[in-house]
Structure 1
Amino acid sequence: MKCLLGLVIICESFYLQGIITVTFEVPGNIKEENLNLFIQNLLWEKNVKDKTGHTMDVIRLKGLVSIQGKSHQVIVQGVHELYDLEETAVAWKENEKRTNRLVLIGRNLDKETIKEVFIATVREKEGIS
Structure 2
Amino acid sequence: MRDPRPGLPWSRRRVHRRDAYAAWMASAGWQTRRRQWLDTWTATHAKEPTCAACGGPWTLRHGDLHHRSYDRLGHETDTDLIPLDRACHTRLHQILDSTPQWRRVGRPQATDAIIARLRQANQEDQ
Q: TM-score, length-normalised on structure 1?
A: 0.27
- Larger Rg belongs to: 1
Q: TM-score, length-normalised on structure 2?
A: 0.27
More helix per residue: 1 or 2?
A: 2
